[in-house]
Amino acid sequence: MSENPLIVPLEILRGHSSSKGQAVVSSEFTTRDRLSSWGLIVPTNCLLCDAAPETRNHLLTDCAYSTEVWANFFAHSDFTLPSSIDQIVLWCKDTTGNEKVNSICMLLVQAIVYFLWRERNARLHSLSAKSASTLIKEIQLLLRAKLFGLDRARLTSANLNPSPLQNSYLHTWFQFFQP
């Protein structure tokens, strides 16, 4: 279990949990290539880029659309993002020696995977499509709200003076992820 109760454990992303989110990164991720392997006749191209077969790794990391999303958040020189989703999940647990950066990385990986999968499903079921920049803005808003809540909970529980902004999650966010 995560040391911070406000952060969902990454094991959910790897499929080692009984939570509903378990299939997000596990091999059970129901992409078009998997449906085809079951004998279903479905188009095989990625719903986000329409340029390659939709596999778990393509959809989450190799697709031009998802690459744009990942690159936007992990462009800071301190980050060297691995190339596969399995490696990213392992990497974000110990990105840096900074606990706040590591926590934000875990939240961000979960948010990116969730939003990419949600966008894929929206394109499949409603034929609506958002640009990568719109998806990035939605992820930024969600993460800033979550980090504000973490800062507020920390200040409230410890009765801390709100002046040390350099120790806040939001300060860390703007320093590393959204300059």
- Positions in the chain short of pLDDT 70: 1-30, 32-33, 36, 157-166
Q: Tell me, what's the pLDDT at 13?
A: 41
Asked if 115 and 138 count as a contact pair (C-beta separation under 8 A), the reply is: yes
DSSP 8-state code for residue 59: I
The first and second tokens of residue 114, run together, are 């969730």
Q: Tell me, what's the pLDDT at 159?
A: 62
Q: Tell me, what's the pLDDT at 31?
A: 73
CA distances from 158 to 2, 6, 32, 34, 50 (A): 20, 16, 49, 49, 50
Q: Tell me, what's the pLDDT at 32?
A: 67
Total residues belonging to the chain: 179
Q: What's the half-sphere exposure (Cβ side, CA atoms, 13 Å) at 173?
A: 21
- Tokens 């004998």 — which residue? 39
